[in-house]
Amino acid sequence: MDKQGFRKMLQGLYLDEQAIKNTFAISERFEEYLNDKKPTTETAWDFSKILIKEKNNDFRSYLALLFYCQFIKQDDMYVGFMELVDGGEVGDNLYKSVAEKFGKEVRDEVFKGKGKIPYGIPSPEKPAYLHPIIKKLQKTIGTRACKELLSDCLRDLPDRMFLDDRKEYLKINDIDEFLIKKKENFLENLKNCQKEKRLFFVQEITDDALDLVRGNPEMGAGKREGNKIVETKIPYMTKKYLAEKDPTLKRYYACHCPWSRDVIKNGNLVPAQIFCHCSAGFMKKSWEFIFKQPLKVDVLETVLNGGEYCRFAVHLPEEALKKTKKEKQHA
């Protein structure tokens, strides 16, 4: 490892000296572990199992490993660790949410035999932990309550993620114009990733990926239909999605959820489909921050129920509709 270069990169990320020291410690250990192993996603997952066993499976450890993989330009291992970090908090948040909304007795019954789900479980193993819990939760509190709980979203989504969107919306003050600007910004971000040869989360952006987003009016920001914003998610791995002919694998490459994606291959989809309401909750969070109020969201279509894409509809508040040019013209 080029220690001087790595340090310079970490300093550029504004890490303090202790954080840099900790990052070096786990990175050097991972480097020793790699030895003659192939730098694959599976190698990253195998190392995560060691961290879980040692109880060193905390967010900071994985963040350090992401920095390391980024520095040595190993995209496959970066994707592996990114899949562990992205949504890694879901298991713990579900454990907390069930207790908060339905009581500790219900929580203990639902999680009986499982307990808290460890952070850092490899993606192929996640459904075996989570889906029996979802199935039991659905049976215990009912399908409607289960969907409502999941629709609140189990992700940690700090307000700062949505500040720019709220500022932009308040500046434009028209939902239709805002959606146009939001899509322009999304496409610009994708273009920059392509130009700078950076991954967009975990995927390479190609000309075909850009064409897909441009050509789908619901993708990249959403499209207003009456009092709803209908949004189609860009596939998780767009390049592979577009190249794949097998319909099952195509849906697999479309799915963003590491807690459910692998069940597409084995067909055990029922609890996974219920869990799609968590993705719907993720979709509505930015709109709830923009309008500073809870909103309703519908699951229209997901790749887990046989759809080509994942599509959701967020219900807009009445005051948002009054500010659109179209509605003003019809008033």
Residue 331 has pLDDT above 70, yes or no: no
Where do the structural domains in the chain lie, given as residue ranges?
Answer: 3-85, 159-330
* Position 328 confidence tier, pLDDT thresholds 50, 70, 90: low
* Predicted local distance difference test score (pLDDT) of residue 324: 73
* Predicted local distance difference test score (pLDDT) of residue 325: 61
* Predicted local distance difference test score (pLDDT) of residue 330: 54
* Predicted local distance difference test score (pLDDT) of residue 329: 57
* Predicted local distance difference test score (pLDDT) of residue 115: 86
* Predicted local distance difference test score (pLDDT) of residue 320: 84
* Position 36 confidence tier, pLDDT thresholds 50, 70, 90: confident
* Predicted local distance difference test score (pLDDT) of residue 116: 86
* Position 254 confidence tier, pLDDT thresholds 50, 70, 90: very high
SS (H, E, C) the chain: CCHHHHHHHHHHCCCCHHHHHHHHHHHHHHHHHHCCCCCCHHHHHHHHHHHHHHCCCCHHHHHHHHHHHHHCCCHHHHHHHHHHHCCCCHHHHHHHHHHHHHCHHHHHHHCCCCCCCCCCCCHHHHHHHHHHHHHHHHHHHCHHHHHHHHHCCCCCCCHHHHHHHHHHHHHHCCHHHHHHHHHHHHHHHHHHHHHCCCCECCECCCHHHHHHHHHCCCECCCEEECCEEEEECCCCCHHHHHHCCCHHHHHHHHCCCCCCCCHHHHCCCHHHHHHHHHHHHHHHHHHHHHHCCCCCEEEEECHHHCCCCCEEEEECCHHHHCCCHHHHHHC
Residue 111 has pLDDT above 80, yes or no: yes
* Predicted local distance difference test score (pLDDT) of residue 230: 98
Residue 170 has pLDDT above 60, yes or no: yes
* Position 269 confidence tier, pLDDT thresholds 50, 70, 90: low
- What integer is the mean pLDDT of 154-169? 94
* Position 326 confidence tier, pLDDT thresholds 50, 70, 90: low
* Predicted local distance difference test score (pLDDT) of residue 267: 74
Residue 78 has pLDDT above 70, yes or no: yes
* Predicted local distance difference test score (pLDDT) of residue 305: 87
* Position 133 confidence tier, pLDDT thresholds 50, 70, 90: very high
* Predicted local distance difference test score (pLDDT) of residue 47: 97
Residue 65 has pLDDT above 60, yes or no: yes
Residue 270 has pLDDT above 80, yes or no: no
**CB within 8 Å of 47: residues ≥ 6 apart:** 30, 33, 65
* Predicted local distance difference test score (pLDDT) of residue 136: 94
Residue 327 has pLDDT above 80, yes or no: no
pTM: 0.90
- What integer is the mean pLDDT of 158-166? 94
